[in-house]
Amino acid sequence: MKRGRLNLIFSVLILFLSIYFVSANDTMTVEINVLANEGSSSISIEVPDSLYMGEINEGGVTNKSQVYINNTGNVNITITPELVSPYDPIFNNTFFQDRKTGNNSQEFQIGDYSFSIAKPSTSGKRSEYFWMWLDLTGYNEDIADDKIGLKADIRFIALPSV
């Protein structure tokens, strides 16, 4: 009987020591190298703060204004202008044309126009321009009063081009 008791005490002691010296939680040190991402894509443009398009009569057309946009990022981009308030009855008649002339040049109404600017060859910027004007020849509403200082905001959405 003593022997059985001694085995029991010895077994409990081994169990106690194994629980004491073996932990269920442990720690590992993890090491990595974090490198600066020098090749990351950056889309950035500069647009004019404002543009005065001149005066226009009902049914008329303004002169074409040359508008420069700068690509200040590091990727080729495609830019699409859109009205911030898309249901503006007058400024929905804004038209765009690439800088090309002759038979290769098409006119596009706002919402249907996009143009591309290549990335700058070095850090800095690359400029491109387009023509922009207001054409009220298809505007069917009666303009009863002068509208002095009429304004609209145009957002230029830049996305990477392929």
Question: Taking Cα atoms as reference points, which of 95, 87, 134, 132 lies closest to residue 112?
Answer: 95
For 108, the token pair is 């596009």
Quote the pTM value.
0.71
Q: Are 53 and 65 in contact (CB under 8 A)?
A: yes
Q: Is the pLDDT of residue 154 over 80?
A: yes
Q: Could you tell me how far CA 76 lies from the centroid of its own chain?
A: 13
Q: From CA 91, how far away is CA 8, in angstroms rounded?
A: 94
> What are the pLDDT digits (tens) for 3-38?
666 666 666 666 555 555 555 555 555 655 555 556
Q: Bigger pLDDT: 150 or 19?
A: 150
Please give the CATH architecture assigned to the domain spanning 45-160. Answer: Sandwich (2.60)
Domain ranges (residues) in the chain:
45-160
Q: Is the pLDDT of residue 46 over 70?
A: yes
* Residue 7, SS3 per DSSP: helix
